[in-house]
Chains A and B, each alone.
Chain A
Amino acid sequence: MLTEAQNDRLTQVGPGTPMGELMRRYWQPIAAVAELKDNPVKPIRLLGEDLVLYRDEGGRLGLIEASCAHRRVNLLFGIPEERGLRCPYHGWLYDETGQCTEMPAEPADSTFPSRVKITAYPVEKLGGLVFAYLGPQPAPLVPHWYPFVEEGRVRSIGWTVVTCNWLQVMENSLDPIHAEYLHGYFSKYALQRIGVLKDRGDIYGKRSFERNPDSDHWFKGNPTMRHISAACSRFEHGILKHRWLEGETQEDSIGWNIGHPIVFPNYESGTGGHDFQIRVPMDDTNTYYIYYYADPPREGEPTEQADDDIPVYHVPIAGVDERGLPIWGQLDNNSGQDHYAWTSQGPRTKRYLEKLGQSDMGIILFRRMLSEQLQIVEDGGEPMNTFRDPATNDIVWLPFDRMGDEEIQGKRAVPKRAHKEGGQVISHGASGKFKPWSIEYAKRIGAPIPPPFPESARTVVEVSPG
Chain B
Amino acid sequence: MNLDGVAPGTRLVTTSGDIAELIEVAVNGEARVRYVEVLGGAEAVVGNEASISNDDIATFDGDRFTGPPRTSSSGA
Contact A230 B15 (CB under 8 A): no
Chain A residue nearest in CB terms to B1 = A358
* B75 part of interface (Cβ distance < 8 Å): yes
Residues A227 and B15 in contact in the complex (CB < 8 Å), given A358-B59, A367-B39: no
Contact B64 A358 (CB under 8 A): no
Tell me which residues across on chain A come within 8 A of B13, comparing CB atoms: 361, 364, 368
Contact A229 B70 (CB under 8 A): yes
Dominant secondary structure of chain B at its interface with chain A: loop
* B5 part of interface (Cβ distance < 8 Å): no
A8 to chain B, nearest CB (A): 13
Q: Which of A112-120, A162-170, A231-239, A442-450 contacts B (4 or more CB under 8 A)?
A: A231-239
Interface residues on chain A, number (Cβ under 8 Å): 37
- The one of B58, B68, B72 that contacts A204, using a Cβ cutoff of 8 Å: B72
* B76 part of interface (Cβ distance < 8 Å): yes
Q: Which of A203, A205, A227, A356 has the most CB of B within 10 A?
A: A356
Considering the chains assembled together, what is the distance between the CA atoms of A356 and B41 in angstroms?
A: 12
Contact B65 A364 (CB under 8 A): yes
Contact B65 A359 (CB under 8 A): no
* A407 part of interface (Cβ distance < 8 Å): no
Residues A231 and B64 in contact in the complex (CB < 8 Å), given A2-B16, A361-B58, A364-B17: yes
Contact B59 A227 (CB under 8 A): no
Residues A360 and B58 in contact in the complex (CB < 8 Å), given A2-B16, A226-B73, A229-B70: yes
A-contact 0/1 string along B3-14, CB 8 Å cutoff: 000000000010
Contact A358 B72 (CB under 8 A): no
Considering the chains assembled together, what is the distance between the CA atoms of A255 and B70 in angstroms?
A: 16
Interface set, chain B 18-49, CB cutoff 8 A to A: 39-42
Tell me which residues across on chain B come within 8 A of A367, comparing CB atoms: 17, 39-40
A180 to chain B, nearest CB (A): 7
Q: Given A356-B58, A360-B58, output 7 extra A-B contacts at Cβ < 8 Å.
A: A203-B75, A228-B72, A229-B70, A358-B58, A359-B68, A364-B58, A368-B13
Top-6 shortest CB links A-B: A204-B75, A233-B64, A361-B65, A231-B66, A356-B15, A358-B68
